[in-house]
Amino acid sequence: MMQQTIVDYIKNEIHGGDPELEIEPEDDLLGSGLLGSMEMMRLVEHLETTYDFRVAPQDMAIENFMTVAAMAAYVERVKA
Amino acid sequence: MIHLLQHAVFAAAARYPRREAFVCGTERMTYAELSRKVRQLAQTLRAQGVEPGDRVGIYLNRCVETAVAIYGILHAGGVYVPLNPKAPATQNAYVIEDCGIDVLVSHPSQKRSLKALMGAGSRVQKIIGGAKTDGRVRVTGWETVFADTPEGIAPGRRVETDLAYIIYTSGSTGKPKGIMHSHASGLAFARNAAARYDLSFEDRFGNHAPIYFDISQLAYFAAPLVGGTAVIATDAETIFPASLGRLMERERITVWYSVPLALVQLLNSGTADTLVLDKVRYLFYAGEALAPKYARQLFPLFPGAQFGNWYGPAETNVCTCYDLPGPPEGEAPIPIGDVWQNTDRLIVGADDEKVSPGETGELLIRTTTQMLGYWNLPGRSAKAWFVRRVAGDLEQRFYRTGDLVREEENGCLHFLGRADHQVKIRGYRVELSAVERLLLASPAVREACALALSGGKDGALQLTALVILQAPGIMTEKELLAYLRDELPWYAVPETILFRGHFPRTATDKIDRSKLKSELVA
């Protein structure tokens, strides 16, 4: 559910609703060029606003943001 | 004898086969593995018709394959042309057309932007490591490349002064220019660095820059030359500074070379003081100035490091260096030092005559690391050189850097800005970088950019400053202007100060001034 929300945001808000775009939960978002640094920051801000939390500086790390799966798991951990 | 860049890899493989050559993310490649893969790729390229002198594009993100690609293309006798997969497809299509690239070395992870590139009508016919969906293009998977038994390649008669790679400038004005470099110039850079700083097989080189930026050449060329390990930060690690710091610690980096931005981001990540970075023995930076206040904050993080400010346009690679004696005092900009070995210089005025000692002039450089010229631009290339007749028809060529410097009595050079960053405001000469430095000196300011735009009465040039504050609202425009008026002549004080959250950056991490300008004009 959370994963789908993130995928939808990337598709609609960052890639203008591109119908051909397929994003797997384990895709390397930055390495594949799907997200640049600006877009990653936008996505992080969107998650913070939507789920009402702030990412601690030590959590701004690749383990938590490399893939859609990692991001969803991180947000769920923080909200728990 | 190492006279071609790839010889360094083969020599390292003979001497240190099991030492790590390249590390990126979770991938670790020894010299033996690298040597084998280089030979396999070269064989594949030859089998696909790549001939000595052919330009082959590298279309990769940050990954270990970049090392295989660079050296595989060179071993096949080709010329490698690194492309930026994040650049607009039309820009990459232009470069491909300009230097006649038929073959790309890539990876399936790049399939989305490769598709856009092919859609922009590029002439590429073959892709190594492309994805299966690339329609009319012949694709050879990496698995196929590495399944081959490498047999010898006819080496051909290659000479060190032959073209080895072409680095395209992002070109702030007009079309990108291809800077042509030879095996000799690439090896000369690696040798200069290795000799001056006594680099060895025990060194672990931390790399941040992409391969289309020559800052990456310390890791990619000098590491194999000495048999050391190149640790390539992944794209993700360059975007998450906390992860970059942990990479430096975990991989026990001993030599770091990057743009200042990477270090400043590390400082601002809020995690830097939890890291133990005492293994770093050299911290080099280039590409932009490092503000003295940031240098002071970095020193305690790297207690074992000698800091070095390196300077040099991509046309000459690094040509001067300044070994910082300690944390800088005050706000005076850190000098660029003097030319290092095998390098000559002149400082000239507008008439190409040497300036008097201590006077400002343009820096001209003559060195073994300099380019052969610009690809297919003989006129532009000719203009880049100052030619000094020595005797008879013996000439010396100096590259015109377009940078203004001033020499101290002891020969130490101070960088004063681009000749074209000087503007005339109401008839007075203003150095934009001086305004920026002053703004940066304020503890409230994180980053600053000064621009001259037509706007006043009669469209006269006016100064606008853009500032990123350390925290929103900690200083007002009025307060910053008052601070500037205390320090600057009246004509150099900006008309307005605009606050921003971030600056657009070029592919080489410099503040993208043309983009900022066009945003303001719109």
Question: Tell me, what's the pLDDT at B133?
Answer: 64
All residues of chain B having their beta carbon less than 8 Å from the beta carbon of residue A28 are 109, 236
Q: What is the pLDDT of residue B492?
A: 93
Contact (Cβ atoms closer than 8 angstroms) between residue B164 and residue B79: yes
- Return the pLDDT at B428: 87
Helix (H) or strand (E) holding B242: helix B241-250
pLDDT at residue A32 in the model:
82
CATH 3.90.1150.10 holds for A2-79: no
Q: What is the mean pLDDT of chain B?
A: 94
User: What is the rounded CA–CA span in Å between residue B232 and residue B206?
Assistant: 6
B341-417 CATH: 2.30.38.10
For the cut 90, the answer to whether the pLDDT of residue A37 exceeds it is no
Best of A11, A30, A34, A44 to substitute, by most chain B Cβ atoms within 10 angstroms, is: A30
Q: Is A45 on the interface with B (CB under 8 A)?
A: no
| Residue owning tokens 């001259």 | B452
Please report the residues numbered 99 through 128 in chain B whose beta carbons come closer than 8 angstroms to any beta carbon of chain A.
109-110, 112-113
Report d(CA B126, CA B134) in Å as an integer: 10
Q: Which of B404, B489, B473, B403 is nearest to B438 (CA)?
A: B489
Is there a contact between A57 and B242 if contact means CB atoms under 8 Å apart?
A: yes
Touching check for A62 and chain B: CB below 8 Å? yes
Residue B361 confidence (pLDDT): 96
Domain ranges of chain B: 5-239, 341-417, 426-521
Nearest to B447 by CA among B471, B466, B462, B464: B466
Q: What is the pLDDT of residue B153?
A: 85
Cross-chain residue pair B236–A32, CB shorter than 8 Å = no
Mutate to test the interface with B, among A15, A60, A68 (most CBs of B within 10 A): A60
Residue A49 C-alpha from the chain's centroid: 13
Closest alpha carbon to B75 in B168, B152, B186: B152
Chain A positions touching B116 (Cβ under 8 A) are: none
Chain A residues in contact with B468 (beta carbon < 8 A): none
The whole-angstrom separation of Cα B422 and Cα B322 is 24
The first and second tokens of residue B424, run together, are: 């005339």
DSSP three-state, residue A33: coil
Q: Tell me the fold of B5-239.
A: Rossmann fold (3.40.50)
Where residue B267 falls (left for φ over 0; alpha for ψ -120 to 50; beta otherwise) is alpha
Residue B55: enclosing H or E segment and its boundaries?
Answer: strand B55-59
Under an 8 A CB cutoff, do A32 and B109 touch? yes
**8 Å CB contact of B236 and A33:** no
The span from the CA of B417 to the CA of A67, in Å, is 41
Q: What percent of chain B has pLDDT over 70?
A: 98
Per-residue pLDDT of chain B (522 residues; tens, 9 = 90+): 999 999 999 999 999 999 999 999 999 999 999 999 999 999 999 999 999 999 999 999 999 999 999 999 999 999 999 999 999 999 999 999 999 999 999 999 998 889 889 888 789 999 999 877 657 889 999 999 999 898 888 877 899 999 999 999 876 567 899 999 999 999 999 999 999 999 999 999 999 999 999 999 999 999 999 999 999 999 999 999 999 999 999 999 999 999 999 999 999 998 998 999 999 999 999 999 999 999 999 999 999 999 999 999 999 999 999 999 999 999 999 999 999 999 999 999 989 999 999 999 999 999 999 999 999 999 999 999 999 999 999 999 999 999 999 999 999 999 998 887 888 888 888 989 889 999 999 999 999 999 999 876 777 889 999 999 999 999 999 999 999 999 899 999 999 999 999 999 888 888 999 899 988 887
> Is B426-521 in CATH node 3.40.50.1100?
no
Contact between chains at B112 and A34 (C-beta distance less than 8 A): yes
Q: Is B47 on the interface with A (CB under 8 A)?
A: no
- DSSP string spanning B394-419? EEEEEEEEEEEEEE-TTS-EEEEEEG
Residues 501-520 of B with CB under 8 A from A: 502
Mean pLDDT of A63-74: 94
Residues of B in contact with A34 (CB under 8 A): 112
Confidence bin at A80 (pLDDT 50/70/90): confident
Q: For chain A, say whether B240 makes contact (Cβ under 8 Å).
A: yes
ipTM comes to 0.89
